[in-house]
Amino acid sequence: MATLDVETRRNLPSILAVTSFVVGVTATLPALGRQTHDDGGIGAGAFFGTPSALHALDLTADQRHSVQSVLRTHTRALHQLAADDKAAKRAIEDRLLGPGDLSEQDLDPLVQQELEIRSELVRARVTTALDVRKELTPEQVEQVASLRDGFRVPTKRVRTNPMAPG
């Protein structure tokens, strides 16, 4: 197994802290993390695979068939990689929360495994998105970009201070 370089070792505590935070947040608030696949999407911010985006594009029958075929082709691998990624994160958490002393070197193999799986998952999602994108016209790709940008419009929220006198 490959060892981590000096820079990665130096940053490992920060990486683990951020990873733990992100795992905690995304576990409780799926909208902030990758898609949960409940809507059949491909995740990783790749709007090309979400049913709502595809429905908004008014695909031709041939395009719809081609996109469905692409998604069917990649779904099993994507789900397996997502499950592997979740298991790898869980293994790190289990080790961090387990009894006994623990050093960065103890976590190196688990961190390396999680990074490799995560990389495979991202690559698989990008490959799927590219395959879907090939089935779209340039105008439809622009429309997907507009849809995506519409989801990024910040909303104004009213913040209340629970400590303020009522």
Residue 83 has what DSSP assignment?
Answer: H
Nearest to 23 by CA among 120, 109, 94, 128: 94
Collapsed DSSP state (helix, strand, coil) of residue 44: coil
In a domain, 154, yes or no: no
Phi, psi of 31, deg, nearest 5: -65, -25
Instruction: Give the CATH number, domain containing residue 100.
Output: 1.20.120
Domain coverage including residue 65: 39-141
In a domain, 153, yes or no: no
In a domain, 127, yes or no: yes
What pLDDT, on a 0 to 100 scale, did the predictor assign at position 115? 96
Structural domain total, the chain: 1
How confident is the prediction along the chain (166 residues), in pLDDT tens digits per residue? 456 666 666 655 555 544 444 444 334 333 333 434 433 444 444 556 566 777 778 889 999 899 889 989 999 999 999 999 999 999 999 999 999 999 999 999 999 999 999 999 999 999 998 998 999 999 988 888 887 776 554 444 555 555 555 5
Residue 78: burial class (beta carbons within 10 Å; 0-12, 13-18, 19+):
buried
In a domain, 94, yes or no: yes
In a domain, 106, yes or no: yes
In a domain, 10, yes or no: no
In a domain, 21, yes or no: no
Q: Token pair for residue 71?
A: 């998604």
In a domain, 148, yes or no: no
